[in-house]
Chains A and B, each alone.
Chain A
């Protein structure tokens, strides 16, 4: 069914839960138009980037997306450079942005901060990551990469590897993939397994999944392998991090155990979980995936600002 893209004008992009399967497919389809597209359709529009936590890809790709559509960018990239250091609330900072910008992206360590910002601001608010909760534009770009490489999102066999406990990207992606009859394989050490509340939701929706600690139990089944970094900064106890930090390191040997058209995705940055020896193979999709981030963010900015090509 053809979706009316005009309905996304003024929409906040806070959580992938806010989008139906039809919404997701319509947005991904529209995003295809933005590959290598550089026209000043957003000339005169301003994007505010409120980054209370460090970011490389998300911040730069939003800036690149806005600038390649002719728009301008202002903002800060650490909490110390904003009035939050003086005790200003997220609500007040976001409210103020109504007067400074046409759209804002926020990354914040507190979960729910983006939803709170959206309550304050009249301009569209995009969540660039709120603690361990949601990172919806990452999910859109992950789905875009899958759709582009596989031609469909239906019935894919998707493996999730690494830190499935703290990794917000895997939580959002698993939720989104549950719209598309995926088969999911969760590969993680016991300490980092997928949270029970997410598994319970998948059971409720009758989504088939399995859990294992060994990648090679399931690698031959996979169409997509989504690898995540084991994030030192999310561990309350550093000793726990030391126990699991090197538990999965993928290299060329992986290719002996997988389908030839497997695609390996990673939200980046990687540390050592994917050896650079894998980079040269067609299965390595993670750098292209990162580039897709700009494409998808261009599409989202265009949609929420209501200026479409």
Chain B
């Protein structure tokens, strides 16, 4: 069993994304990108009282923009973010869905131009709970359970 210490080793400066849906950590990293000077810890399928299982990401010396964090909400609406400075949590908040989602999810319509030409997808969030998004190109509406990531 992995020790608690290993899971929560302290960051000096950076950001922790907690309560990611189990299995989503790698997708989130792919989406956020990793720069050469990032130190990154990945936790997957940790036990969680709230969620059963969850993933965690810790970024040393990385400031995440609010926009980046909100996009994480698309793949994991329960995600929470802690901003760490000098070993202290200076800000903690829940990711919230942006009004518009660019380039993260794939349109389910095979005849949509985004699936046929090189075009970054754009969706507008019409409903947050339950999630309903609409493609800004072909206007097809998709529910949360139909969403596939690019």
Chain B binds chain A: yes
Task: Please tell me if B136 contacts chain A, counting CB pairs below 8 Å.
Answer: yes
**In chain B between 121 and 147, which residues have their CB closer than 8 angstroms to a CB of chain A?**
135-141
Residue of B nearest to A112 (CB): B137
Task: Please tell me if B50 contacts chain A, counting CB pairs below 8 Å.
Answer: no
Are B117's CB and A15's CB within 8 A? no
Total A-B residue contacts, Cβ distance less than 8 Å: 48
Q: How far is the CA of A90 from the CA of B116 in the complex (A)?
A: 11
Q: Which range holds the interface residue count of chain A?
A: 10 to 19
Instruction: From B116, B119, B141, give the contact of A197 (CB < 8 A).
Output: B141
Q: How far apart are A168's CB and chain B's nearest CB, in angstroms?
A: 10
B112: A residues at CB distance < 8 A:
110-112
Task: Please tell me if A170 contacts chain B, counting CB pairs below 8 Å.
Answer: no
Q: How far apart are B138's CB and chain A's nearest CB, in angstroms?
A: 4
Are A17's CB and B139's CB within 8 A? yes
Residue of A nearest to B114 (CB): A112
Residue of B nearest to A198 (CB): B141
Are A90's CB and B117's CB within 8 A? yes
Q: How far is the CA of A131 from the CA of B138 in the complex (A)?
A: 9
Q: How far is the CA of A285 from the CA of B138 in the complex (A)?
A: 31
A132: B residues at CB distance < 8 A:
111
Task: Please tell me if A133 contacts chain B, counting CB pairs below 8 Å.
Answer: yes
Q: How far is the CA of A132 from the CA of B141 in the complex (A)?
A: 14
Residue of B nearest to A113 (CB): B113
Q: A91-B117, A116-B117 are in contact. Are A111 and B111 (CB under 8 A)?
A: yes
Q: How far apart are B82's CB and chain A's nearest CB, in angstroms?
A: 37
**In chain A between 60 and 116, which residues have their CB closer than 8 angstroms to a CB of chain B?**
89-91, 109-113, 115-116
Q: How far apart are B132's CB and chain A's nearest CB, in angstroms?
A: 9
Task: Please tell me if A134 contacts chain B, counting CB pairs below 8 Å.
Answer: yes
Instruction: From A90, A109, A116, A134, give the contact of B111 (CB < 8 A).
Output: A109
Q: How far apart are A132's CB and chain B's nearest CB, in angstroms?
A: 7
Q: How far is the CA of A83 from the CA of B49 in the complex (A)?
A: 59
Are B141's CB and A116's CB within 8 A? no
A115: B residues at CB distance < 8 A:
113, 136-137
Are A111's CB and B109's CB within 8 A? yes
A134: B residues at CB distance < 8 A:
139
Are A112's CB and B118's CB within 8 A? no
Residue of B nearest to A119 (CB): B119
A116: B residues at CB distance < 8 A:
113, 117, 119, 137
Q: How far apart are A19's CB and chain B's nearest CB, in angstroms?
A: 14
Contact pattern, A 129-156, Cβ under 8 Å of B = 1, otherwise 0: 0111110000000000000000000000
Q: How far is the CA of A98 from the CA of B112 in the complex (A)?
A: 24
B137: A residues at CB distance < 8 A:
111-112, 115-116
Apart from A109-B111, A110-B117, A112-B136, 5 more pairs, CB < 8 Å: A17-B139, A91-B119, A110-B112, A116-B113, A116-B119
Residues of B within 8 A of A (CB): 109, 111-114, 116-119, 135-141
- In order of increasing CB-CB distance, the 6 nearest A-B pairs are A112-B137, A111-B138, A112-B113, A112-B138, A110-B113, A197-B141
